[in-house]
Amino acid sequence: MKKWLAILFYALMVYVLFLNKTELLAWMQQGSHSMFLMLLITICLTFFPVLPYSVVIGIMAFVYGTFPGALLCWTGAWISSLLMYAYARFFYGDQAEIWLSNNERVQAFTAKMKRNPFVSILLARLVPVLPQAIVSVYAGAASISFPLYALASAIGKIPGMLFYAFIGKHLLGFLL
């Protein structure tokens, strides 16, 4: 039942956004104040994904241009990932360490990840098989070094942001 409610909610959001696309795009483009507000919105959308983030990247690229839109979404996603990491590390660190050590498979995976945390996080960001929030929370729970995590996340998010921004800029330009 919950799954159907979520699907219905997403469909309703897309419908409402589509109905109001002209007004929404005009509002997003007015003034420099909207850029900071859009950054806050991108951060919120990574915490509470009302829309797939690839759609958000495409919309931002359509409104602001490929590189500014990608930069805006990259900044929002990176800040959000740092906040998720910090939340997991500081609020669930001890509990998570216990949980991670109780499961042999998870413990083995964590040990492998800790041998080369930079490459592990970088690959998790470059090849997004796992949801990005899980990567952030897991890294925080596994006590991966914050500077390594931050740098690997920052670098690893760049190609995806540019890809979706390029696609969004050209595809939305064609559709709208």
Give tens-digit pLDDT for 111-146: 888 889 999 999 999 987 888 888 898 888 888 899
Residue 79 lies in a domain: yes
Q: Estimate to the nearest angstrom the gap between the alpha carbon of 5 and the chain centroid.
A: 23
Mean pLDDT of the chain: 83
Angle at 30 between CA 28 and CA 32, to 5 degrees: 95
* Alpha-carbon dihedral sign for residues 157, 42, 92, 2: negative
**Domain span holding position 132:** 37-175
Residue 95 lies in a domain: yes
Q: What is the pLDDT of residues 84-113, one digit of tens each?
A: 999 888 887 777 777 777 777 777 777 888
Assessment of whether the complete model's pTM goes beyond 0.95: no
Q: Structural domain tally of the chain?
A: 1
169 vs 10, more confident? 169
pLDDT for 117: 92
pLDDT of residue 33 exceeding 70, the answer is: no
